[in-house]
Amino acid sequence: MVLIRNSIYLDALSKFGVGGAHPGGISLTKKIFKTEEINETSYILDVGCGTGQTAAYLASRYGAKVTAMDINPIMIEKAKNRMTKYQLPVEIIQGSIENFPLADGRFNFIISESVLSFVNKPRALKEIFRLLKNGGRFIANELTMNKQLETTNEEEIKQFYGLDSVLMEKDWVNLFEHTGFKHIKTRVQEHSNFQNNPIPEFTYSAHIDPQLYGIITQHFHLMIKYQGVLDYRVFSCTK
């Protein structure tokens, strides 16, 4: 199994059990899916599901057949606890989207929310394309640079978050096109990465290393430092 690069930031998210850590949070997720044709016959994969907030919403709101996956065992445990608490029949699988052991063409929809930035993007997109049915929809809410940074600044971001690259909008679109996706649309949000972002949900672990509190603080400092440069886009495309 291919692992996500070491990221103390992701470790912090898992220990704090941050739900809706992606830009826009669960409220943006709900808006995105209002424009999609989802019902109880839809098969949906939530890539990098975290604590399962989005997966639970899709299952409860639409009655869809939802599979949620994440590589982090702490997140998987919290996602399973969520589904048990609300008695939702969501399948939870621990694994990597770079090599995911499910059959071709299984899903009508696949969503990733701040996930692709942390993995091998071409490999992950190849798997997502394989897992989608013909005509299936892929939706991604991903970290995006508004302009190219100096190398030292870009390295600061990559080192902190554990990323191999930080892409601009055109780079994302090129990746989707190269994978084979069609009808690629980009949604640019009215607000920047952290303007009017809803307060996330927390599901704390019993034991949290004190240094992880500093990691969250450092995250917000970086967002302020690179405000207007670090942003996000919502991409939608079809197989």
Give the C-alpha separation, 185 to 169, whole Å. Answer: 11
Q: For residue 29, count other CB atoms closer than 10 A to its CB.
A: 22
Q: Binning pLDDT at 50, 70 and 90, where does residue 202 land?
A: low
Beta-bridge partners for 234: 141, 187
* Amino acid identity, position 216: I
Collapsing DSSP states into helix, strand and coil, what is residue 117?
helix
Give the C-alpha separation, 208 to 213, whole Å. Answer: 9
Q: Binning pLDDT at 50, 70 and 90, where does residue 204 land?
A: low
Give the C-alpha separation, 156 to 36, whole Å. Answer: 37
The pLDDT tens digits for 112-128 are: 999 999 999 999 999 99
Give the C-alpha separation, 88 to 72, whole Å. Answer: 21
Range of weakest confidence among 9-13, 88-92, 175-179, 181-185 = 9-13
- pTM, full prediction: 0.88
CA atoms within 13 A on the CB side of 208: 19
Please give the residue that has the higher pLDDT: either 25 or 156.
Answer: 156
Tokens of 22: 């992606």
pLDDT at 219 over 60: yes
Give the C-alpha separation, 145 to 10, whole Å. Answer: 20
pLDDT of residue 214: 80
Cβ–Cβ < 8 Å for 16, 47: no
* Amino acid identity, position 15: K
Tokens of 186: 């980009």
Q: What percent of the chain has pLDDT over 70?
A: 88
Beta-bridge partners for 232: 143
pLDDT at 171 over 60: yes
What is the C-alpha end-to-end distance of the chain, expressed in Å? 25
The pLDDT tens digits for 5-52 are: 467 777 777 776 566 566 788 989 999 999 999 999 999 999 999 999
Q: Binning pLDDT at 50, 70 and 90, where does residue 198 land?
A: low
pLDDT of residue 9: 78
The pLDDT tens digits for 63-90 are: 999 999 999 999 999 999 999 999 999 9
pLDDT at 191 over 80: no
Complete domains list, the chain, with CATH: 8-238 (3.40.50.150)
pLDDT at 3 over 60: no
pLDDT of residue 223: 87
Helices (H), the chain: 8-16, 25-34, 53-62, 73-86, 121-131, 151-161, 169-179, 211-225
Give the C-alpha separation, 186 to 191, whole Å. Answer: 15
Tokens of 5: 């690069």
What does pLDDT average to over the chain?
A: 88
pLDDT of residue 11: 76
Cβ–Cβ < 8 Å for 31, 55: no
